[in-house]
Amino acid sequence: MKRLLAESDPGFEAQLARESHAIAAQGASGEGREGIAAFLEKRAPRFDGAP
């Protein structure tokens, strides 16, 4: 996320695109998938630190 701030562009659309890609990458990680699964299953997430 710090990279997003460092690369901030005055263009609103460009910033939205960067944020969208960053969020998608987080959701695709192991912890992201576990977080989403836990939310959908209404349980506490079990993070193991794996990417």
Segment 34-41 mean pLDDT: 93
Inform me whether the pLDDT recorded for 2 exceeds 80: no
pLDDT exceeds 80 at position 4: no
pTM: 0.56
Do residues 21 and 4 make contact, with C-beta atoms less than 8 angstroms apart?
A: no
Q: Are the beta carbons of 29 and 50 closer than 8 angstroms?
A: no
Give yes or no for a contact between 26 and 18, defined as CB atoms under 8 angstroms apart.
no
CA angle 22–24–25, rounded 5-degree value: 65
Cα–Cα distance measured from residue 29 to residue 23, given in angstroms and rounded to the nearest whole number = 10
Q: Confirm if 45 and 35 have CB atoms less than 8 A apart.
A: yes
